[in-house]
């Protein structure tokens, strides 16, 4: 019986140490992943370089897509534009839509400017090199892949379709699923506009 007590204590100590190590590793991984999550960037617009930090003080709706997208991108951009149309001038002055192209081969900054302005003047189109887009997409958890087609389009881009809400301090604070209705978009972003 006396021999069982030390063995039990040793087992408890080992389990306790294992739990502490696992907890410390979990905290470290959380800190590392949150440090890489989202963040500032600098890409090209028709008017030159644009950084997320240029919009401090505004709530940014960030969306990744491409101008040749047949339905997903137009749906989300139209809903974003509708949400902007349902805001007061004061509220509208505190928001910015950004459309980042994941198809820099076809989407020139001029094409992006024409495309986004079709939806709303508060939506800006930007892009960069393939490496820049890939790095930024990974930070926001955006997935995309090029799929060859036997058609005039040559290829399409399968991509995730969430819209990322960035608060007035440049922090990613919310994610809107595909086809979030305009009323819900306004409801989700107004608390961040009224915080300041």
This prediction's pTM? 0.80
Both 175 and 146 in a single domain? Answer: yes
Both 1 and 57 in a single domain? Answer: no
Both 60 and 155 in a single domain? Answer: yes
Residue ranges making up the domain that contains 188: 42-193
- For the segment 168-193, the average pLDDT, to the nearest whole number, is 97
Both 183 and 106 in a single domain? Answer: yes
15 pLDDT higher than 50:
no
What does the pLDDT read at residue 194? 77
Structural domains in the chain (count): 2
Both 140 and 116 in a single domain? Answer: yes
Both 25 and 46 in a single domain? Answer: no
Model confidence at 45, pLDDT cuts 50, 70, 90, reads very high
What is d(CA 82, CA 87) in angstroms, rounded to the nearest whole number? 9
Mean confidence (pLDDT) of the chain? 87
Residue 145 buriedness (CB in 10 A; 0-12 / 13-18 / 19+):
exposed
Both 67 and 117 in a single domain? Answer: yes
- For the segment 37-46, the average pLDDT, to the nearest whole number, is 96
Q: Which residues contact 57 (CB under 8 A, 6 or more apart)?
A: 94, 168, 196
What does the pLDDT read at residue 3? 56
Model confidence at 8, pLDDT cuts 50, 70, 90, reads low
Q: Which residues contact 151 (CB under 8 A, 6 or more apart)?
A: none
What does the pLDDT read at residue 17? 47
Write the DSSP assignment of 98-134 as a string of letters.
EEEES-TTT--HHHHHHHHHHH-TTEEEEB--HHHHH
- For the segment 166-177, the average pLDDT, to the nearest whole number, is 97
């Amino acid at each position: 019986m006396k021999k069982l007590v030390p063995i039990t204590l040793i087992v408890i100590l080992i389990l306790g140490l294992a739990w502490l190590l696992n907890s410390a590793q979990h905290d470290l991984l959380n800190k590392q992943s949150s440090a890489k999550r989202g963040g500032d960037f600098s890409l090209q617009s028709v008017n030159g370089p644009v950084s997320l930090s240029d919009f401090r003080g505004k709530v940014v709706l960030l969306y990744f897509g491409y101008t040749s997208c047949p339905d997903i991108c137009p749906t989300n951009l139209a809903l974003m534009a509708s949400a902007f149309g349902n805001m007061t001038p004061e509220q509208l002055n505190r928001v910015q839509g950004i459309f980042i192209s994941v198809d820099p081969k076809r989407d020139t900054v001029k094409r992006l400017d024409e495309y986004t302005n079709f939806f709303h003047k508060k939506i800006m189109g930007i892009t960069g090199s393939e490496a820049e887009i890939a790095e930024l997409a990974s930070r926001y958890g955006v997935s995309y892949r090029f799929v060859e087609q036997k058609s005039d389009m040559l290829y399409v881009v399968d991509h995730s379709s969430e819209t990322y809400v960035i608060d007035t301090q440049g922090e990613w604070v919310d994610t809107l699923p595909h086809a979030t209705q305009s009323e819900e978009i306004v409801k989700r972003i107004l608390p961040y506009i009224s915080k300041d």
